[in-house]
Structure formats: C-alpha cells, structure tokens
Structure 1
C-alpha cells in the first residue's frame, strides 16, 4: 500500500536538493569485490581549496547528518560526503563489518576521486572510521575532528557501569529503533533536550525509511565496533586532532572524551559543548561548526550568523 505522505522521504528529497544546490553531485564508486560506495563530491573541483571529508554517524545517512553544515563547509573546501557501508546506496557483499574495513573503503573512494590529503570530520560512528583512516593511511589525513566518538571505550566499560545500559543488545534496541516507543527512547538518550511530542505515524515513518534497510548488517557494525575493544589495541595517531563532546552525552559519556585526550596527549584538544547531548549536530550546530572552523583554520570560512 502506498503511503499518502512520508515525512522522512520528503526530507530525503529536500536534502538531495540542498546538497546539489550547495555545489555537490552524487556519484557511485565501485571498489570491486562487491563493494559500492555512494558519495557526494564537488561538481567543480577548485585546486586552491583544501579538501574535507565528512563521515556520518550510525543513526542516519550522510545527508541527514551534515545538511546543516554543508553550505558553510563548501565555502572553503572541496567537500566529500560518503554514505558509509549499509547506509544510503553504499553496500558490500563481503563479510567484513569493522571500522577498519569501512576506513579502507573510504580510502578507496578518496583515491578514486584523486584526493591525496584531506581534513576529516567524523561524527560518532563516523569518528571511529575517521580515526581508523588516520591510523591506517596517515599520509591521507591532514587534520582530524572527532565529534562525540567514543573510540577510547573498552568492552568492559559496559560491565563497569559507564553506560546507561547494561548490555549491547539493550543499546541496539534504541540505536536502531524498530518501534515508535524505541524511537522516543532514542531521542531521550541522544538529545539533552529531546523532542517530547511526536506523532506515532511520524516515528513509524522514520523507522520505515531510515532504520529498516540493512538492519542486520548495521547490527553487525555495532557488534564489530564493540567486541574485544581494548585501549591497548588503539593506535596513537599523530595528526592534529580536535575532540568535541556534548556535556551530557549519554551514548558516549564525556569521560571517554577526556580518556581520548589523555591518549593523544599534546596532539589533541578537547572542547566541551555545554547543555548538549550526543546529537550536537542537531542541538547546537552553530557551536559545533564554530569550533571546527577555528581548528581547521581556513580563512575562507566564516561562522554562520543569526
């Protein structure tokens, strides 16, 4: 049965228009071995501008994550915005689910597009991929920005009570929600000031459009991200790194930001956004953008004013 209206599908159409209007075009890169990555790339490459790679989080595709920022970033950068595997039109038939494999695929996209060195901004799960890209392909990454990306977590942290949930299975019920009740819980966990009222049909529509496809594969991504994770296995990258965290992040508590700062020592700086949860890109995008712009240091960029 055809729905009379889909809020999420309408947002998808608007975001596609917004990305195109800003100066990006969609492209599909076949990396071989059954792996295909969809990526937004510049319509016109400008050699005088540096390059910028934006990596989205687990809950949404690239457009939903970065729409608030795209026009500002394009003012000073050649911007590349891929959908990670099992989001949007990106997929693989290979069995790998690790962030290391995601990073290898992103490196393949950059090579295909002729990008030799780029700045990287990763949001949440995208930060895991960005960190791995920086570790595996250090020559490709100029500067790295990690937004509420708990790369320093350990599997035992859940047992030790760091998180609001007691098991990964419990976390998955709202990280990849399949009922309106779990969508509401997701908003309560990811936002400091969550949306308190949303029609049930809108929440179900979000599930149908955003969180139904590739469900088992995405569960595999989360499991691979957490399984046997230890600080002793985390490489120490050397690129200048900005760590941005929401003061009241319930997905990845702020302690993980301090832990990462200690791990990277003088190569990193930690900024905490006040009165903000995990979804800082939605709750306070202007503050988030301001810190990224200052760190990347491109004079062509200027913060939005309103």
Structure 2
C-alpha cells in the first residue's frame, strides 16, 4: 500500500509538472502581467483540508505580548484517546511535514500539532533561539489548550525541541518518539557530517533558489522524490511562500543548533523512548541513532526502516505510523 501510494504520487507529480510548465509557458508570453503564486497556495489549501478531515482546526495563541504560537488541535477532544503532540523540523511548517500522518494517527490519538517559532504562523519578538525556549512555548501552548499529559512524536530539528520538552516536563510527557534527529551529536560530529554533505547548512536548510531545494530534497529522500518533476517556477513559489519567511530568525536558529550548546551534557530521559531511523539517512546517518540509543540506555529502543532516507515520515509513512501506534497505545487496543 505504501509503495503503491508513493508511486502514484510520483506519477501524479510528473503530470502536474507538465501542467505547470504549460502555465509557465503561457505566463512567460505575458510579461506585462504581474505573476502571482498559483500552485503552492492550491496545494497548501489541499493539505489544510486533509487536516480538517482529520478533525483538526487551526488556532492561534498569544502566550504573552511578544510571542504567538499556532496549533492544529482537535475540534472535539476524545477522552478515550491519548494525546499525541507532533513536532516538525525544517523544510516548511507542520502541515507540509505531517500530511501523511494526520489521517492515520487521528484515528487513535487526539493530535496537537504546533508550528514552531518562525515557522508557519508562530512568531516571537524575543531574542531567544534555543530549543529550550521553543519547548517552553509549545508546552505553554499545550497547557492553554487544556493538555495535561501527552506523548510526543518529533522529527529532525523537532527532535531537539521535543527532547527538551520531555526533559523539562517529565510529569507531562509520557512517551517519546524521535525520528531521524541529531540529538546528542557533538560539535565535531556535526562539522564532520557537514564536510561530507559539502554545503553550508544555512543554504541547505533555508534554500534561496530551486537548485538549493533540489539538493535538500535529494539529500533527504532516498526512494521517491516528489519534487523530481517539479518545474523551477513551482519550487521558487515554495521557497518564497514557505521557506523564506522569517529568514533572519531561521538563520539564527541554525547557527544556535550548530553551536557547542546543543551537545553539552545531554540529560538522559526518564520516559520510554522510541527512535525511528531510515537506514539510508544521509542527513543524520544511522550511527547517530545507535549513539542516541546507547546514551538513553535500556528505556530506549531503535527501529530501522529499510530503504528509507532522512524523511521517513514522507517516504515510509505507513511504517512510521504503525511503529508510533504500537509503541504508544496499550497492547490490548486495536490498532
């Protein structure tokens, strides 16, 4: 099923690219008309519908007079379902990264999906750029939504934030799932990995032009690259509308992430923790998963998804969703 869906999306993306190129050719012959975003707003609206069909609605919370955080939260919370928080990484807001998770996971959980600060509609005028501050803001938002206990699923950069959430709030966060994250890497390991990649991390994570986005996607995806057939016009739309908002602040987040601060004296979590890794991950190779598992000790286990890269939530969503459910839900509950 997973393979069929991904092949279908690859097939569909090819034909959509043909349509996009036709539109591009038509618009190029009308230079006096101001060009406007066309494809990305349409896809963004479609993803929003997926979230709404999963019983989720957007809400914006003012945490104080300087900080605003945006969530997708349940329309009606079911008290017979556990709460699950999904924490995204770089590469767009929460909608674009969890579009393959919401339908499946909403069947078993009350989902709470924040946009981290400087992604989507979340923003602060404060100067903090730490994962701890991101974690505090998410937790404060959850409490204002009435969430007192939850489990957590976090990917990539979100893993750094989610780890701090679990560390600082052991009474609230019950179980932790981390997907393909560099939590616990030393500064030397980060620098060595960047040398292998051969690109400036700011340029890589915050692309300026279509070629940069192609590099990022090719690095993250191993099997089916949905952007392979996308014309530059579409990619530039995505960059301008999704990736380039709050540019300065996102750059500061990257610089902090690469500093010594994030790898010094990493605490051991009290919660049971599931680590999920693609065996073909080229951003945070599998060795980092084994390293984090050793650090966490017997309360952590590592699940490896074959023939999958860094973006396992996109490449192997059925496998990821099944692992999350099996780990968090009571064994007697029907999956």
TM bucket normalised to smaller: over 0.9
Further displaced range: 231-240 or 143-152: 231-240
Does residue 179 of the first structure (1) align with residue 217 of the second (2)? no
Mapped contact 1:73–1:301 kept (Cα < 8 A): no
Mapped contact 2:152–2:162 kept (Cα < 8 A): yes
Deviation (angstroms), 1:158: 3.5
* Structure 1 partner of 2:313: 281
TM-score normalised over the length of structure 1: 0.93
**Structure 2: how far apart are the matches of 1:102 and 1:14?**
28
Deviation (angstroms), 1:47: 1.5
**Structure 1: how far apart are the matches of 2:152 and 2:73?**
14
**Structure 2: how far apart are the matches of 1:161 and 1:26?**
37
Deviation (angstroms), 1:93: 0.3
Query: Which of 56, 69, 86 pairs up with 2:101?
Result: 69
Could you say what secondary structure the match of 2:90 adopts? coil
Further displaced range: 234-243 or 14-23: 14-23
**Structure 2: how far apart are the matches of 1:284 and 1:47?**
29
Structure 2: which 5+ residue stretches go unaligned? 1-32
Mapped contact 2:271–2:299 kept (Cα < 8 A): yes
Deviations 1:15-59 (A, max 9, x none): 111111211111111100400001011111111211110111111
Deviations 1:249-302 (A, max 9, x none): 111111111110000010100011111111111111111111111111256563
Does residue 120 of the first structure (1) align with residue 152 of the second (2)? yes
Deviation (angstroms), 1:162: 7.0
Query: Which of 92, 95, 99 pairs up with 2:127?
Result: 95
* Equivalenced residues, count: 300
* Structure 2 partner of 1:200: 232
**Structure 1: how far apart are the matches of 2:141 and 2:213?**
32
Mapped contact 1:33–1:94 kept (Cα < 8 A): no
Residues 94/297 of structure 1: CA separation in 2 closer, same or farther (3 Å cut): same
Deviation (angstroms), 1:231: 4.4
Deviation (angstroms), 1:205: 1.2
Deviations 1:109-146 (A, max 9, x none): 11101111101000111111110000011111010000
* Structure 2 partner of 1:213: 245
Mapped contact 1:76–1:300 kept (Cα < 8 A): no
* Structure 1 partner of 2:255: 223
**Structure 2: how far apart are the matches of 1:122 and 1:37?**
17
Deviation (angstroms), 1:196: 3.6
* Structure 2 partner of 1:252: 284
Query: Which of 164, 188, 194 pairs up with 2:218?
Result: 188
Deviations 1:167-201 (A, max 9, x none): 7xx12212111111111111111111345433111
Deviation (angstroms), 1:165: 3.3
* Structure 2 partner of 1:83: 115
* Structure 1 partner of 2:8: none
Does residue 16 of the first structure (1) align with residue 16 of the second (2)? no
Deviations 1:74-130 (A, max 9, x none): 111111011110111100000001110000001101110111110100011111111
Q: CA RMSD in A?
A: 1.7
TM-score normalised over the length of structure 2: 0.85
Mapped contact 1:157–1:163 kept (Cα < 8 A): no
